């Protein structure tokens, strides 16, 4: 993989094919997530920051994404809350395994587990950051000016 489009399609394929994921959202910012209705287990990917580097004569871009696995469960059922949280973490682990199997040059940071209570539901989430590296062209190529 050498660009954002390929990475997007790879993540979308994972989410579409995974039996525990009902929805994949690629958003421009965290504000886009507010007041949005989502299906029961959704995966959200938001580009957050980038770095352009030539360290050690290795031209790369790194791009970080804020990610979340979100689910709903009944707010009065503690066991459902535990199960939903457990399944969210399972999905994050499987996403990491999938990316490793695809030989992706990326890593997942710490996973924050959160819960938000609404009137009818608990919204459980596993929030984390994925950083991925893309190869750049050699600097000796012509510059398009």
Query: Per-residue DSSP letters for 97-111?
Result: HHHHHTT--EEE---
Lowest mean pLDDT among 15-24, 53-62, 65-74, 103-112: 53-62
Is the confidence at residue 2, as pLDDT, over 90? no
pLDDT value of residue 47: 92
pLDDT value of residue 33: 79
User: How would you classify the pairing of strands 112-117 and 42-53?
Assistant: unpaired
CB 116 within 8 A of CB 125: yes
pLDDT value of residue 137: 62
Q: How far apart are CA 3 and CA 72, in angstroms?
A: 33
pLDDT band at 105 (very low <50, low <70, confident <90, very high): confident
Q: How far apart are CA 7 and CA 67, in angstroms?
A: 14
> In 85-109, which positions are buried (b, 16+ CB within 10 angstroms) versus exposed (e)?
bebbbebbeebbebbeeeebebebe
pLDDT value of residue 30: 84
Segment of 40-54, 77-91, 109-123 carrying the highest mean pLDDT? 77-91
Is the confidence at residue 109, as pLDDT, over 80? no
Would you tell me which CATH number, out of the four given (3.30.70.1170, 1.10.1660.10, 3.90.110.10, 3.30.70.1700), belongs to the domain 4-135?
Answer: 3.30.70.1700
Reduced to 3 states, what is the DSSP secondary structure of residue 41? coil
Report phi then psi at 98, rounded to 5.
Answer: -60, -45
- Where exactly are the structural domains of the chain? 4-135
Mean pLDDT across 19-48: 89
pLDDT band at 136 (very low <50, low <70, confident <90, very high): low
pLDDT value of residue 54: 63
Is the confidence at residue 144, as pLDDT, over 80? no
Is the confidence at residue 135, as pLDDT, over 80? no
Q: How far apart are CA 31 and CA 25, in angstroms?
A: 13
Q: How far apart are CA 28 and CA 96, in angstroms?
A: 22
């Amino acid at each position: 993989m050498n660009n954002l489009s390929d990475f997007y399609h790879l993540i979308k394929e994972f989410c579409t094919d995974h039996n525990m994921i009902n929805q994949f959202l690629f958003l421009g910012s965290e504000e886009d997530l507010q007041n949005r209705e989502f299906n029961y287990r959704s995966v959200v990917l938001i580009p957050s920051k980038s770095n352009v580097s030539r360290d050690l004569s290795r031209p790369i871009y790194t791009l970080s994404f804020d990610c979340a696995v979100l689910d709903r469960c009944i707010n009065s059922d503690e066991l459902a809350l535990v199960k939903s949280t457990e399944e969210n973490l399972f999905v994050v682990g499987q996403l990491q395994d999938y990316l490793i199997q695809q030989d992706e040059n990326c890593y997942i940071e710490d996973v924050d587990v959160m819960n938000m209570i609404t009137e009818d539901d608990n919204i459980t989430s596993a929030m984390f950051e994925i950083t991925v590296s893309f190869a750049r062209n050699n600097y000796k190529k012509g510059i398009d000016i």
